[in-house]
Amino acid sequence: MTTLQSVQGILQASFELAPEVLQPEAKLEDLAIDSLSVIEVMFAVEEKFQIVVPTKSMRLLAEIKTIRDLVAYVDALIAEQHPALAGGAVAT
Partner 1 sequence: MRRVAITGLGVVSSLGNDPDAFFDSLACGRSGIVALPAPGKTGNQVLETPATHIGGAVAFDGARFFPAPKLRMLDRASQFALVAATQAVRDADIDFDHPGRQRSGVFLGTGMGGAQSTDDGYFTLYAEGSARVKPYSVLMAMTNAAASWIGIEYGLTGPNLTYSTACSSSAVAIGEATRRIANGEVDVMIAGGAEAPLNYGTLIAWDAMKTLATADLEDPGASCKPFAKDRTGLVLGEGAAIVILEEWQHAQARGARVHAELVGYGLCTDATHITRPSVDGQTAAMRRALESAAMRPDAIGYINAHGTATLSNDAVETAAIKQTFGAHAYCVPVSSTKSMHGHLLGAAGALEFVAAVLALERHIIPPTINLVVPDPECDLDYVPCNARIGVDLSAVMSNSFAFGGTNAVLICRTVIA
| Residues at the interface with partner 1 (CB under 8 A) | 14-16, 31-33, 36-37, 39-40, 43
Choose between 33 and 78: whose C-beta lies nearer to partner 1.
33
Q: How far is CA 15 from CA 57, 68, 77, in A?
A: 23, 17, 23
Q: Minimum distance from CB of 16 to partner 1 (Å)?
A: 4
> What CA–CA distance (Å, rounded) separates 44 from 17?
16
Q: Minimum distance from CB of 46 to partner 1 (Å)?
A: 8
> What CA–CA distance (Å, rounded) separates 36 from 81?
24
> What CA–CA distance (Å, rounded) separates 32 from 82?
31
Choose between 15 and 86: whose C-beta lies nearer to partner 1.
15
> What CA–CA distance (Å, rounded) separates 86 from 90?
8
Choose between 41 and 71: whose C-beta lies nearer to partner 1.
41
Q: Minimum distance from CB of 29 to partner 1 (Å)?
A: 11
